[in-house]
Amino acid sequence: MAKSFDVVIIGAGAAGMMCAAEAGRRGRSVLVLDHAKAPGEKIRISGGGRCNFTNLHTAPANFLSQNPHFAKSALARYTPRDFVALVERYGIAWHEKTLGQLFCDDTARDIVRMLLEEMKAVGVVLRLGTEISGVDASATGFRVALAEETIDARTLVIATGGKSIPKMGATGFAYRIAEQFGLGLVETRPGLVPLTVADAAKESLGALAGLAVDVRAGCGKTTFDEAMLFTHRGLSGPAILQISSYWREGEEIRVAFEPGVDLGALLKAARRTQGRQAVQTVLGEHLPKRLAQHLAIEAALLDRSLADLSDKAIDRLVGLVSGWSLKPAGSEGYRTAEVTLGGVDTRHLDSRTMMAKAVPGLFFIGECVDVTGWLGGYNFQWAWASGFSCGQAV
């Protein structure tokens, strides 16, 4: 006879483990299945090994979704403070790095261990290294087919994440199941990902590779004030990862170097006191020298004395520094993307419980849903919040 559980959760990642612990705490028999050999692998590598596990400033506005209201209910049900309280109960030391981003002092493994203990304490069964051959509706709920057995589930939770980093076991499983049960999908694309430039730009920007600079990066109406990194293949760093989620192929991104500084006034004043100096030398007092040189070349003002520049020429140079633009050729794709944008269409899900409106007993949580956070701990907070809300409903 097939083994039977109240709740079967596919995916032992952030959302799946949080959901399992909460469902188990409510007395449900819970089985968690994962094809990976270890649970929470993305947690383990996240935040440079220290896991940026939440963001104190989490608000619905920090998420991209076709329905900006969808995330509100779950985010209100389980807040960053709730997760911090859990972390503190386990004596895990943490610190705020910047912009409300909370990291483990020691290692991201502490978060994985904490979730495993939470599950164990309430009797959750975890089976790793388990391939799922298929899922079907049954008279009592769902039937999950494994290689050599089938498992009956009254409730089925899909928590298999997105397509980001296939090397780590990411699959499109959730999207296939959603389609199988007639749920719509929002087109998926890589998010929080470095952007690449065309070969010609690669050559001219090559001299800047490795340089990090504070910028305001923008695309459309969205801007982020964070660091940008020039790479051998294009642009990266937090500002670019953030803007990559808003960027669409063919669009330009705008970059303001030294945002908030009135460079025009500074240069015009310098023209009186340092008029004999070259443009790039004076610019290099406000920007990294390599970048100042590059911008002077782009402005066709290399080696020109500041005193020779008219107000108009200075304004043109300032326009370039504060409104540098570039049309990326593409992105580094799912190979390095931290998240997958799009996913299970929220119109088909109940925002309070994450259950498919037309398929009672079938739930989708975490990254596979069309809710994607900014860089900075927001994606884990969505995983905890959607997992918890579902765990309370199953």
User: Which residues would be at the binding site for ligand FAD (CB under 6 A)?
Assistant: 10-16, 34-36, 41-42, 45-47, 51-52, 132, 159-161, 164-165, 169-171, 173, 338-339, 366-367, 377-380, 383
Give the type of residue at 224: F
Residue with smaller CB distance to ligand FAD, 270 or 368:
368
**Identity of the residue, 14 or 213, whose beta carbon is nearer to ligand FAD in the bound complex:** 14
SS3 245: coil
By beta carbon distance, the residue nearest ligand FAD is: 13
The helix, strand and coil proportions of the chain, stated in percent and rounded to the nearest 5, come to: 35, 25, 35
When the beta carbons of 99 and 302 are compared against ligand FAD, the nearer one is 99
Contact 368, 172 (CB under 8 A): no
Shortest Å, Cβ 164 to ligand FAD: 5
Least distance from ligand FAD to the Cβ atom of residue 268, Å: 43
Name the minimum Å distance from CB 47 to ligand FAD. Answer: 3
Closer by beta carbon to ligand FAD, 174 or else 292: 174
- CB nearer to ligand FAD: pick between 89 and 335: 335
- State the minimum distance, in angstroms, from the CB of residue 16 to ligand FAD: 5
Q: By the 8 A CB rule, do 36 and 128 touch?
A: yes
Q: Which is nearer to ligand FAD, 354 or 383 (CB)?
A: 383
Sign of the torsion angle spanned by Cα atoms 240, 242, 243, 247: positive
Q: At closest approach, how far in Å is the CB of 214 from ligand FAD?
A: 21
Q: For the chain, report the end-to-end CA distance as a whole number of angstroms.
A: 24
Please give the C-alpha separations between residue 311 and each of 86, 268, 329, in angstroms, as whole numbers.
Answer: 59, 7, 34
Distance CA(253)–CA(261), nearest Å, equals 20
Written as six digits, the tokens of 309 are 């520049």
Least distance from ligand FAD to the Cβ atom of residue 272, Å: 48
Q: 């326009």: which residue's tokens? A: 319
